Amino acid sequence: MLFEGQTIKVDAQDGGIAELRFERCNEAVNKLDALTFGELRRAIDAIKATPAIKGILITSAKDNFIVGADIFEFTRLFTQPEPDIAAFVAANSEIITALGDLPVPTVAAINGLALGGGLEVALAADYRVLSNNAKIGFPEITLGLFPGYGGTVRCRAWPVWRQAPNGLFRARSKALTRLFSQAPLMPLLGRISCALPLSPFWRRRSRANPIGKPSAPA
C-alpha cells in the first residue's frame, strides 16, 4: 500500500502499475470535499516519490465513480469573502492539475456517475474508459455554477459529445449512442478512449457492501 487514507487508497499492482482508488469509508458514494482533496494531494506526492511506478489506474470502489463536490461545504464556503473563495478554488484546481501532470500515463476507469468535479478528475487523466452504465456531465451548470477545476478547458477537446440542458453529455451521433448502449471494446474519437461492458472488472471495484469495507486488489 503506497497510500491509505479515509477516502483514497493507492495500491501497487503488477508490472509497475499503481491503482489510485477512490474508496470513501463509511459512505456509499465518493465525493470531493476538503478531506478528499487533501488526501488526493498526499496520494499524488506518494506516487511521485515512487520511481518504480510506470502507470496509474484511477478507479472507484463504489457503484459510482465520483458524484461531485460536497454541496454542504459550498454552503459554508459561500459565506466567505470573495478572495477566500477564489483561493479555495485555485488550491483544489492545482491538485487536479498535479494529477494531470504526473510523469506517467494515467487511465480513469469510470463506472456509474462521474459528475462535476468527479468528471474533472477523469478529464485530468490521459485516457478514459467507461463502463456501459456510466453517466458523465456537469449538472452544476443548472445551478449557475461553472466547473472550476479545469473541466471547461479540458472538455473543449471532446469533439464527439455535446452537453445537454441537464448538464449531462450526449453523443453527437446516433452511432455513438448505439456504441455506448452496446459498449463493445473499441476506440472512440475524442476524450473517451473506449467503452467496456459491465464486466467482472467493474463488479470487483464495487463490492457487495460498499460502505466502510476496503476492497481487495483486482
Q: Which residues are catalytic?
A: 69, 117, 120, 140
Q: Which of 181, 202, 216, 167 is nearest to 60 (CA)?
A: 202
| Angle, alpha carbons 18-50-93 (nearest 5°) | 75
Across-strand partners of 3? Answer: 10
Tell me the three cell numbers of residue 29.
Answer: 458514494
User: d(Cα 6, Cα 26) in Å, to the nearest integer?
Assistant: 9
User: d(Cα 113, Cα 131) in Å, to the nearest integer?
Assistant: 10
Q: What is the DSSP letter of 217?
A: P
